[in-house]
Amino acid sequence: MPQIEQLSRRTPKVSVDELLQGFHPSPRFGEVSFASYRPDPKQPSQAGAVASLKDFAAAVDHKQPTGLRRLFGGRKQADSRAGIYLDGGFGVGKTHLLASLWHAVDGPKAFGTFVEYTNLVGALSFRKTVDALSSYELVCIDEFELDDPGDTVLMSRLMRELADAGVKLAATSNTLPGSLGEGRFAAVDFQREIQVLSDQFDVVRIDGEDFRHRGLPAAPEPMTDLDLKRKIHNDFSGRVVAADEFTDLVKHLEGVHPSRYRQFIDGIDVVAWHNVSTITEQAVALRFVVLADRLYDKDVPIIASGVPFDQIFTPEMMAGGYMKKYFRAVSRLTALAREGQKGEAAA
Ligand SMILES: Nc1ncnc2c1ncn2[C@@H]1O[C@H](COP(=O)(O)OP(=O)(O)OP(=O)(O)O)[C@@H](O)[C@H]1O
Ligand SMILES: [Mg+2]
């Protein structure tokens, strides 16, 4: 018999220390390396990105002492910016490469998502965050995105202060730095901040297909609810299955801060969602995206009944300012559903 729990009954608490300790790649990227990244020969930008990152890793490890750099004119020239910024579509291997960079350098080093850094500032204060991260050699920021003016001002200052302190920065995003925030808020009003932010980075573009679904057939059809119940009881003996009515879970998420979703799914081996339906509210959908990300980080297989995951968000959402987030979430959920329903390992 599996052990059944309900995510809709969990409300985790997280301390600041736990927040800081968590700044390393998730288990999925715990062992990746430049060597385990297989560049697509049809996409020369992929091998190019590996070469740029290897150079960057060497620069992080052999950088001049901060004091000397300050003495010789402080700010760096255009060809040696503090940061490298990987821009590309979902599933092309950006996080794999960013984590490979993190593994390749000695440190001290931090690895987190953009949202985790904004949460860190929220928990510690801006000044304490700068103080804590200034002693690092490398700060990796996965999934750089600007959702509101507050984040824009904050991250532009944080990036500049860290760069000035001699910290090397590496980021990934689906959006070029100069286009961050477009369609989400009046980004034109924050051009100055966005410019300061862009100035910290050299951009490396990565082209290619979504590696998770390369050459694979369409997503598996969801099960009937009866089959789902049978599967929960028959297939996961000795494992912890979080089984929820989908609408209950979505409602419950409103009361759990997204910064806690990592702890929220602690100890869960498999997720089972009964009667998945389309999420119609943007704020709810965005929270759900974060949950999908955390499940993907931990490689938790999903089994589900109801609508398929490509219908979990409305067509309006899939065409709006957050479309890239939603497409990425569908890609990730589909990979986890493949794993859960067909027994394939999710890439
Ligand atoms: N060229 C590659 N060689 C080997 N593994 C790869 C390659 N590209 C991607 N992967 C693997 O495919 C999965 C998806 O890649 P990854 O998460 O790094 O993509 P991403 O560009 O960060 O996507 P997202 O937009 O979802 O953040 C990962 O498990 C990664 O290790
Ligand atoms: Mg990624």
pLDDT digits (tens, 9 = 90+) for 108-140: 999 999 988 998 898 888 999 999 899 899 999
**Do the two domains 3-10+212-342 and 41-208 of this chain adopt the same fold?**
yes
> How far lies 84's CA from each of 53, 55, 75, 132, 170, in Å?
8, 11, 16, 21, 5
Region 55-65: mean pLDDT is 80
In sequence order, the β-bridge partners of residue 169 are 83, 139
pLDDT of residue 75: 45
Question: What residue ranges do the domains of the chain occupy?
Answer: 3-10+212-342, 41-208
Q: Which ligand is nearest to the CA of 88?
A: 1
pLDDT of residue 343: 59
Q: Which ligand is nearest to the CA of 93?
A: 1
> What DSSP state is assigned to residue 105?
S
Ligand 1 atom with the shortest distance to the CA of 331 = 26
Q: Would you give the distance in Å from CA 52 to the centre of its chain?
A: 21
CB 193 within 8 A of CB 153: yes
Ligand 1 atom with the shortest distance to the CA of 32 = 31
State in Å: Cα 164 to ligand 1 middle: 31
> Dihedrals φ, ψ of 252, to 5°?
-65, -30
Q: Does 41-208 carry CATH code 3.40.50.300?
A: yes
Q: By alpha-carbon position, which residue is closest to atom 18 of ligand 1?
A: 93
> How far lies 172's CA from each of 43, 142, 165, 226, 293, in Å?
18, 5, 21, 41, 15
pLDDT of residue 344: 52
63 confidence band (pLDDT: 50, 70, 90): low
pLDDT digits (tens, 9 = 90+) for 304-328: 999 999 999 999 999 998 998 999 9
pLDDT digits (tens, 9 = 90+) for 175-232: 998 888 888 888 888 899 999 999 999 999 999 988 887 766 677 788 999 999 999 9
Ligand 1 atom with the shortest distance to the CA of 37 = 3
Q: Which ligand is nearest to the CA of 100?
A: 1
State in Å: Cα 132 to ligand 2 middle: 25
State in Å: Cα 32 to ligand 2 middle: 13
Q: By alpha-carbon position, which residue is closest to atom 29 of ligand 1?
A: 347
97 confidence band (pLDDT: 50, 70, 90): very high
In percent, how much of the chain has pLDDT > 70? 91
Which tokens hold the place of 29?
């990227």
- Angle CA 248–251–253, to nearest 5: 110
pLDDT > 80? residue 346: no
pLDDT of residue 228: 95
> What DSSP state is assigned to residue 293?
H
pLDDT digits (tens, 9 = 90+) for 219-278: 778 899 999 999 999 999 899 999 999 999 999 998 888 888 888 999 999 999 999 999
Query: Which of 28, 95, 206 for a ligand 1 pocket mutation test, highest count of atoms within 8 Å of Cβ?
Result: 95
Domain 3-10+212-342 sits in CATH at 3.40.50
pLDDT of residue 73: 47
Q: Which ligand is nearest to the CA of 207?
A: 1
Q: Would you give the distance in Å from CA 222 to the centre of its chain?
A: 26
Ligand 1 atom with the shortest distance to the CA of 29 = 31
Q: Which of 17-21, 96-100, 154-158, 299-303 has the lowest mean pLDDT?
A: 17-21
State in Å: Cα 315 to ligand 1 middle: 26
State in Å: Cα 210 to ligand 1 middle: 8
pLDDT > 60? residue 48: yes
> What DSSP state is assigned to residue 256?
S
What residues flank ligand 1, with Cβ below 6 Å? 28, 32, 37-39, 88, 90-96, 211-212, 328, 332, 347
pLDDT of residue 217: 67
Q: Which residue has the tokens 């709006």?
A: 320
Across the chain, mean pLDDT equals 88
> What distance in Å separates the CA atoms of residue 170 and residue 176, rounded to the nearest whole number?
14
State in Å: Cα 92 to ligand 2 middle: 8
Q: By alpha-carbon position, which residue is closest to atom 31 of ligand 1?
A: 96
Q: Which residue has the tokens 């932010």?
A: 197
